[in-house]
């Protein structure tokens, strides 16, 4: 990496976040709230104390896994947005597996849930990736449809065959015994799902950057035709990447069931999957960046409530902030390779990168 790239790596996010904060401040001032106060509240609620950190980390955990769900197939050249669907079917499968093994020791039960969530979630995205590779069905669209189908499946099953008859007014599966649920990291209120998320990101990084398989995957993602010419098993690579991505989302669903709800119900579809798509793109599909971006987004999500309580702002305020931040960060990508004028006055500027990428 040249020093120039290092400089950009810092300067571009700073510019993007600065722009987002400026725009949001203008928005706040426009609607009569104090921008300084609001921004201070967001910071305090996200990172102000160890207490706040835990809140942010709790929310970051599912985002890490859901971010990987888009990022891994994207590295192999398949853009999928089926994270929410894989999340709910993974959670559903985990609940089924967990309930089937409650007679066994807790670790076995959790292992069964882990496997079921990962495999079913993985199959879900692998389906979208496979449909694109073998049948030419655009994976963005098919995985989008699979989200709706997954959620309908969840509703039909928890209100029908899998319903605990005692879950009278809140249809849900039977609960898992507390002993068989995923616990908390000692001394915190953070569940082990965070460990899954961090480990998955690190593993994802290792796979992509340090293994031959990862190199093949990136070649396939960069130029499918070239990959075929050099004899890479393109179909298998695409399917595996889809499976691994889906497995991460399914795992996030498993954590939601095993650590948070203790059973599957409609409530496990809380939208983490959709936010995960953005996490992946803001991280430019890089597993290590996903760690950081998830944490920041987790903090933003954590601050939504305090804006309502302390500033009497509507609940949608935080969505406006998120929207502005995402748009600024995406737009800032354009600055890559163009900040040269700050370090050296003249540097050739490449144009139309976008078209080349298409």
Partner 1 sequence: MQSSDSLGNLGILVAIAGGALRGSIPYIYVSLGECLTEKSGRINLGMEGILLMGAMTAFAVSDQSGSPWLGLLAAAFVGGLFGLLLAGITELPGVNDVAAGIAMIIFGSGLAFFFGKQFVAPMAPQLPVIDFGQGIANAGVHAALRISPLFVLGIAVAFLMHFAFERTRWGLHLRAVGDAPDAARSMGIAVRRHRVVATTIGAALAGIGGSHLTLYFPGIWSEGISGGQGLMAVALVIFARWSPLRCLAASLLFGGAQALGPSLQSAGISGFYHVFNASPYLLTLVLMVLSCSRTRRLDGIPGSLARRG
Partner 2 sequence: MPKPITRRAFGALCGAAPLAAAGTADPLSIGFVYNGPKNDLGYNQAHAEGKQSLKSLPWVRAFDEANVPETVAVEESMRNMVYQDHAKIVFATSYGFLDPFVLRVARECRNTQFFHCGGSYRDGGDPPNVGIYFGFIDEVEYLAGMTAGLMTRTGRMGFIAAKPIPQVLRNINSFMLGARSVNPNVTMRVVFTGDWVLPVREAEASSSLADQGVDVLTGHTGSPRVIVQVAERRGIYATGYQFNQSVLAPHGFLTGAEWAWGVVYRKYAEMVRAGKSVVDGSIPRRMTGTLKDEFCRLSPFGPAVTAEKRDAVAQAKRRLLDGSQAIYRGPLRDNTGKTVVPAGRTIGIEETALDQMNWLVEGIQGDVRS
Task: Give the one entry of partner 2, partner 1, none that residue 149 binds, where binding means its C-beta sits below a cut-off of 5 to 8 angstroms depending on kind.
Answer: partner 1
- Min dist. Cβ of residue 168 to partner 1 (A): 19
DSSP string, 263-332: S-BGGG-SSHHHHHHHHHHHTTT-HHHHHHHHHHHHHHHHHHHHHHHHH---TTHHHHHHHHHHHHHHHH
Closest to partner 2 by CB, 19 or 44: 44
- Min dist. Cβ of residue 10 to partner 2 (A): 31
- Exactly one of 76, 131, 176, 219 binds partner 1 (CB under 8 A); that residue is 131
With helix as H, strand as E and coil as C, how does 122-189 read? HHHHHHHHHHHHHHCCCHHHHHHHHHHHHHHHHHHHHHCCCCCCCCCCCCECCCCCHHHCCCECCCCC
Residues binding partner 1: number (CB under 8 A): 57
- Min dist. Cβ of residue 55 to partner 1 (A): 20
Closest to partner 1 by CB, 188 or 350: 350
Q: Which of residues 313-342 bind partner 1 (CB under 8 A)?
A: 314-324, 326-327, 330-331, 333-334, 336
When asked if residue 49 is in the footprint of partner 1 (CB under 8 A), the reply is no
**Residues 66 and 276 sit within 8 Å (Cβ to Cβ):** yes
**CA separation, residue 182 to residues 98, 218, 249, 270, 271 (Å):** 11, 34, 17, 19, 21
Neighbours of 2 (CB within 10 A): 7
Secondary structure class of 108 (helix, strand, coil): helix
Closest to partner 1 by CB, 21 or 327: 327
Cross-strand pairs, 191: 184
Closest to partner 2 by CB, 175 or 246: 175
Q: How far apart are CA 192 and CA 201, in angstroms?
A: 14
Task: Give the one entry of partner 1, partner 2, none that residue 100 binds, where binding means its C-beta sits below a cut-off of 5 to 8 angstroms depending on kind.
Answer: none
- Min dist. Cβ of residue 344 to partner 1 (A): 20
Residues 137, 68, 332: CA angle, nearest 5 degrees: 90
When asked if residue 104 is in the footprint of partner 1 (CB under 8 A), the reply is no
Neighbours of 341 (CB within 10 A): 10
Stretch that binds partner 1, among 107-115, 132-140, 191-199, 210-218 (CB under 8 A): 132-140
- Min dist. Cβ of residue 46 to partner 2 (A): 12
Six-digit token pair at 59?
């929310």
Closest to partner 1 by CB, 75 or 101: 75
Q: Per residue in 128-137, is it b (16+ CB within 10 Å) or e — as a string?
A: bbbbbbeeeb
Q: Which of residues 256-315 bind partner 1 (CB under 8 A)?
A: 274, 277-278, 281-282, 314-315
Task: Give the one entry of partner 1, partner 2, none that residue 222 binds, where binding means its C-beta sits below a cut-off of 5 to 8 angstroms depending on kind.
Answer: none
In angstroms, what is the C-alpha Rg of the chain?
21
The dihedral built from the CA positions of residue 205, 206, 210 and 211, taken in this order, carries a sign that is negative
Closest to partner 1 by CB, 136 or 187: 136
Q: Which of residues 149-188 bind partner 1 (CB under 8 A)?
A: 149, 151-153, 155-156, 159
Binding site for partner 2 (CB under 8 A): 45, 51, 55, 58-59, 155-156, 159-160, 168-171, 175, 189, 256, 260-262, 265-268, 270-271, 301-302, 304-306, 308-309, 314-316
Q: 3-state DSSP helix/strand/coil percent for the chain, to nearest 5?
A: 75, 0, 25
When asked if residue 141 is in the footprint of partner 1 (CB under 8 A), the reply is yes
Neighbours of 163 (CB within 10 A): 15
> Footprint of partner 1 on this chain (CB under 8 A)?
31, 79, 81, 131-142, 144-146, 148-149, 151-153, 155-156, 159, 274, 277-278, 281-282, 314-324, 326-327, 330-331, 333-334, 336, 350-355, 357-358
């Amino acid at each position: 990496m040249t020093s120039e790239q290092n400089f950009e790596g810092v300067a571009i996010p700073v510019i993007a976040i600065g722009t987002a904060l400026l725009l949001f401040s203008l928005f706040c001032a426009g609607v009569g709230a104090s921008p300084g106060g609001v921004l201070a509240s967001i910071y305090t609620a996200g990172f102000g104390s160890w207490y706040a950190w835990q809140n942010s980390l709790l929310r970051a955990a599912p985002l890490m896994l859901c971010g990987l769900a888009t990022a891994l197939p994207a590295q192999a050249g398949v853009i999928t947005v089926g994270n929410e669907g894989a999340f709910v079917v993974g959670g559903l499968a985990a609940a089924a597996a967990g309930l089937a093994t409650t007679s066994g020791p807790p670790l076995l039960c959790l292992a069964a849930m882990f496997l079921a969530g990962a495999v079913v979630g993985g199959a879900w995205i692998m389906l979208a990736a496979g449909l694109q590779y073998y049948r030419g069905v655009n994976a963005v669209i098919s995985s989008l449809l699979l989200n709706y189908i997954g959620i309908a499946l969840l509703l039909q099953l928890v209100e029908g065959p899998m319903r605990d008859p005692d879950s009278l007014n809140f249809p849900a599966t039977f609960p898992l015994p507390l002993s068989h649920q995923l616990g908390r990291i000692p001394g915190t209120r953070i569940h082990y799902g965070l460990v899954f998320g961090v480990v998955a990101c690190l593993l994802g990084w290792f796979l992509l950057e340090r293994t031959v398989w990862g190199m093949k995957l990136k070649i396939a993602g960069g130029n499918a035709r070239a990959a075929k010419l050099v004899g890479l098993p393109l179909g298998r690579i695409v399917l595996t990447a889809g499976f691994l991505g889906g497995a991460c989302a399914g795992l996030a669903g498993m954590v939601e069931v095993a650590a948070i709800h203790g059973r599957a119900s409609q409530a496990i579809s809380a939208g983490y999957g959709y936010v995960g798509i953005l996490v992946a793109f803001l991280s430019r599909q890089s597993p290590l960046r996903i760690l950081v971006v998830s944490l920041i987004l987790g903090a933003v999500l954590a601050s939504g409530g305090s804006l309502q309580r302390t500033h009497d702002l509507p609940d949608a305020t935080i969505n406006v902030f998120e929207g502005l931040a995402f748009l600024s960060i995406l737009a800032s990508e354009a600055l890559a390779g163009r900040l040269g004028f700050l370090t050296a006055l003249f540097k050739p500027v490449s144009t139309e990168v976008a078209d080349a990428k298409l």
